[in-house]
Structure 1
Amino acid sequence: MDEIEFGTDGWRDTLDVFTEPRVRMVGQAVASYLEDEGKGGEPLAIGYDARETSRGFAEELAHVLTSNGHDVYLPKRDCPTPLVAHAIVDRDLAGALVVTASHNPPEYNGVKFIPEDGAPALPEVTEAIEDRLQTPQKAPEEEWGTTHEVDFAVPHEEHCLDLLDHPDLSGLTVVYDAMHGSGRGVTDAILEEAGAEVIRERCERDPDFGGTPPEPDRANLQGLALAVDEHDADLGIANDGDADRIAVVTPDRGYLDENFFFAALYDYLLEDDSGPAVRTVSTTFLIDRIAEAHGEEVHETPVGFKWVAEAMGEHDALVGGEESGGFSMRGHVREKDGVLMGLVAATMAAERDIDARVDALLDEHGEFHQDKVSVDCPDDRKAHVLVELADRLPDEVAGKEVVRVNEADGFKVLLEDGSWLLVRPSGTEPKMRVYAEAGSEDRVDDLLDAGRDLVEPLV
């Protein structure tokens, strides 16, 4: 039990720790939690990603839950996490479990619980599940539920097309990179259904992800950028391993910083709608400038889409997002969805070149540059680093005076020139993260150097 700990987005670990007996304990904990919440025996969904072990773990969870009296809906093949979240609301389920390690390498796997509203579980829920970890129990066999193999893709596709009023993407050429993950046959399919010509990259299932972790960052998407150029495409779109995140490649910029995609997305949605945005502490202040220009507000949260989702519900937000590529929008489940965002990105590009939109925003609001680095830090040292850092925060960073410190998630130091530096513990890896944003790349580099110099002596 001590090895099972739900972090930022569920429990993830290497396969020597993430074992069938422990996964079954998680299944029993969820069954016990639902029983205590008055949802005993109510139906659930179980999803899983494209890893070699994921289907087997999903079947183990299904066995535990059905033997506790729950009917279970299980997809016929691996599928994106957001399809499972949508299925909860679409089918009026008590929640879902998803077996996925998202962008982690193939030697990892993970599991997370999504409650009945389709939004990520908050800490009080995951803590309650952790408190109920135990060896699986069984109801009398006559009370067992049934596992039903179903298709989550079609209802989700129909919902997304309806949400965007059935966009016409005819004439648009998109290169789609599934990174061998669960977005294959889903994101590309919805783009084709809307009329786009889709050129596929890494759209074959490979449990080893071609030797590259399914993390859609700049380094891993050089092939997508080359394909966009080779095919003279209008856009490149990639998803991570479980397709809850998106990355975009444009003809002029190549890999588009997720902060710029968020800015373009919010600007696009504000053309026909209104409402605040929700962003994490690590996400660009460009969102704030766009909101201010439209008379809207921005609500800042700690890192982790569960906090974004909570704030979206509280404030009826038009959009919510994070700099790591996770986004959702009003009218959809409050879970990040790389499939929906792939369709939105293509719809944006069909109406106006995304590079041109970003250029216009930067012309109006000024230059924004952001980057981050990581400092190795054992998990049991993270709290110590934060305690020590609280006593050592300087009055000046990289030559500029500190005007405010935000402690919502680690320490975010806001400086007199409008730049900022953020230090926070990673929720998924033994690292401290250091982020910076400023008006030039050189200034960002100076801030990151200063942040690293603050953190490294404390680890």
Structure 2
Amino acid sequence: METISFGTDGWRATLEEFTAPRVRMVGQAVATYLTDTGLEGPVAVGYDARESSRGFAEELARVLCANGFDVLLSDRDRPTPLVAHAIADRDLAGGLVITASHNPPEYNGVKFIPADGAPALPAVTDAIADRLADPDPLPESEHGTVRDVDFAAPHADAALELAESITGGTDLSELSVAYDAMHGSGRDTTDAVLERAGASVERYRCDRDPEFGGGSPEPAAENLERLIETVTDDDGGVDLGIANDGDADRIAIVTPERGYLDENLFFAALYDFLLEDASGAAVRTVSTTYLIDRVAEAHGESVREVPVGFKWVAEAMADGDALVGGEESGGFTVRGHVREKDGVLMALLAALMHAEAPLDDRVDRLLAEHGTVVQDKRSVDCPDDEKARVLAALEDAIPDTVAGTEVEDVNTADGFKLLLADGSWLLVRPSGTEPVLRVYAEAEDEKRIGELLEAGRELVAPLV
């Protein structure tokens, strides 16, 4: 039980620790939690493209079934947002997804999604953790059933319907898209939705490979070289590049002029696009660009800042009926959809946005209107059991200046965010999924970013 810990987005671990007996304990804890809180109805179980994922999903299904719950088991590996949509769309009691998202193939994980389809808040995951136990089956006569279900078609219908309500149409017949699934569960899902909207799709890494080609299904620029080369090649014949991470809840965009489009810039472009025909606030994490605030101010809207973790974005979106919510790591959702990050829906909206006007042009305009913004981050190795100590030590080590600029304020909503006199900022916070501390910085140019990140590293490293 001590090994199982629910972090920012569920429990992830290497396969040495992520074992069938422990997965069964999580299944029993969820069943007990649902029973204790009076939540009835079927439970969804989904999984990603890893070699072990289907087997772990079947273990969960058996435990839930033995506790009296009917289980809707995904008929194949599918993106996490499809399971979240199914839970809300079908009025289920909740759901579980076996996935380690962007982590390398030697990892796996599990996350619980409550009945509203939004990420589980700590009160829920803590309640589940308190109920970890070996399976305790009911008499066989009281067992539920397990059946395979297609989660893809209903989600695709909903995504196209929502996109049409936002844009007034979903005709992508004049658009060519290169799509990279990174061997993950976005294959035959994101590309299929784009084709249903009329786009011509050129596919990369859209075969299932549980080893992800020997790397990690993380859609960072260094892992998307072929996609970038294709889209930025004048003779490539492709208008836009799109990639998803391993469980397709996040998105990466490649444009003809910029190549890899910084997720912060995509967020700003998305918000600006939505505000053409709608109104509403934006929710962003503490590590996400202030460019969102500038776009909001220009439209008379507001922004709410929350700690890192999409559960906090989802909670704030519900509290304020926000128009859009997102984070700098590429996770976004919009009003009218399930409050869970959805890389499939975002791929459709990105394509529709680009079809209306090139994304590069929109980003150029936003930067001309609101100023240049550059952001980057680094990681400093730090064991999980040392993070609290390091952050406590950092509280007493906050400097008066960073890289030659005065610290005007310190935001402690999630780690320590140092707001500097020149409008730049430096953030240090613990990762919720890896044994590292994250150091983020935002400024007006790359040189300044380098100075801030180095200052942040020098501030943190001696404390580890």
- TM-score class, shorter: over 0.9
Partner Cα separation in structure 1 for residue 216 and residue 320 of structure 2: 35
1:325-404 equivalences in 2 (<5 Å): 325-404=330-409
Large movers: runs of 4+ above 6 Å: none
1:104-115 equivalences in 2 (<5 Å): 104-115=103-114
Partner Cα separation in structure 1 for residue 427 and residue 261 of structure 2: 22
Give the counterpart of 2:185 among 182, 185, 189.
Answer: 182
Name the SS for the 1:182 alignment partner: coil
Partner Cα separation in structure 2 for residue 396 and residue 53 of structure 1: 49
The equivalent residue for 2:217 is 214
Partner Cα separation in structure 1 for residue 367 and residue 359 of structure 2: 12
Give the C-alpha shift of residue 76 in structure 1. Answer: 1.0
Give the counterpart of 2:420 among 411, 415, 418.
Answer: 415
In structure 2, what residue type is equivalent to 1:112?
K
The equivalent residue for 2:88 is 89
Partner Cα separation in structure 1 for residue 402 and residue 236 of structure 2: 45
In structure 2, what residue type is equivalent to 1:457?
P
Give the counterpart of 1:304 among 306, 309, 319.
Answer: 309
1:267-282 equivalences in 2 (<5 Å): 267-282=272-287
Give the C-alpha shift of residue 227 in structure 1. Answer: 2.1
Name the SS for the 2:249 alignment partner: coil
**TM-score normalised according to structure 2 size:** 0.98
Partner Cα separation in structure 1 for residue 214 and residue 276 of structure 2: 42
The equivalent residue for 2:456 is 451
Partner Cα separation in structure 1 for residue 36 and residue 122 of structure 2: 17
In structure 2, what residue type is equivalent to 1:149?
D
Partner Cα separation in structure 1 for residue 386 and residue 186 of structure 2: 36
The equivalent residue for 2:130 is 131
The equivalent residue for 2:252 is 247
Partner Cα separation in structure 1 for residue 348 and residue 254 of structure 2: 14
The equivalent residue for 1:292 is 297
Q: Which runs of 5+ in 2 are unaligned?
A: none
Name the SS for the 1:454 alignment partner: helix
Give the C-alpha shift of residue 231 in structure 1. Answer: 2.5
Name the SS for the 2:45 alignment partner: strand
Deviations 1:260-307 (A, max 9, x none): 000100000000100000000000000000000000000000000000
Partner Cα separation in structure 2 for residue 282 and residue 75 of structure 1: 34
In structure 2, what residue type is equivalent to 1:267?
D
Aligned-residue RMSD, C-alpha: 0.7
The equivalent residue for 2:38 is 38
Residue 259 (structure 1) aligned with residue 258 (structure 2): no
Partner Cα separation in structure 1 for residue 445 and residue 408 of structure 2: 20
Name the SS for the 1:392 alignment partner: coil
In structure 1, what residue type is equivalent to 2:10?
G
Name the SS for the 1:312 alignment partner: helix
Partner Cα separation in structure 2 for residue 394 and residue 455 of structure 1: 12
Partner Cα separation in structure 1 for residue 279 and residue 202 of structure 2: 34
Partner Cα separation in structure 2 for residue 367 and residue 161 of structure 1: 33
In structure 2, what residue type is equivalent to 1:118?
G
1:17-32 equivalences in 2 (<5 Å): 17-32=17-32
Comparing 188-197 with 165-174, greater Cα deviation is found at 165-174
Give the C-alpha shift of residue 396 in structure 1. Answer: 0.9
Deviations 1:123-176 (A, max 9, x none): 010000000000001111111100111100000000010001141001100000
Deviations 1:69-115 (A, max 9, x none): 00000111100000000000111100000000000000000000000
Name the SS for the 2:46 alignment partner: strand
The equivalent residue for 2:411 is 406
Residue 193 (structure 1) aligned with residue 196 (structure 2): yes
Q: Percent identity, please.
A: 71
Partner Cα separation in structure 2 for residue 97 and residue 120 of structure 1: 11
Give the C-alpha shift of residue 39 in structure 1. Answer: 1.5
Q: Which runs of 5+ in 1 are unaligned?
A: none
Partner Cα separation in structure 1 for residue 340 and residue 163 of structure 2: 17
Partner Cα separation in structure 2 for residue 379 and residue 77 of structure 1: 34
Give the C-alpha shift of residue 368 in structure 1. Answer: 0.3
In structure 2, what residue type is equivalent to 1:7?
G
Deviations 1:301-344 (A, max 9, x none): 00000000000100100000000000000000000000000000
Partner Cα separation in structure 1 for residue 356 and residue 73 of structure 2: 37
Name the SS for the 2:413 alignment partner: coil
Give the counterpart of 2:171 among 143, 168, 171.
Answer: 168
Give the C-alpha shift of residue 232 in structure 1. Answer: 2.4
1:49-128 equivalences in 2 (<5 Å): 49-128=48-127
Deviations 1:235-260 (A, max 9, x none): 00000000000000000000000000
Deviations 1:382-409 (A, max 9, x none): 1011111101101111111111100000
How many pairs are equivalent? 458
The equivalent residue for 2:152 is 153
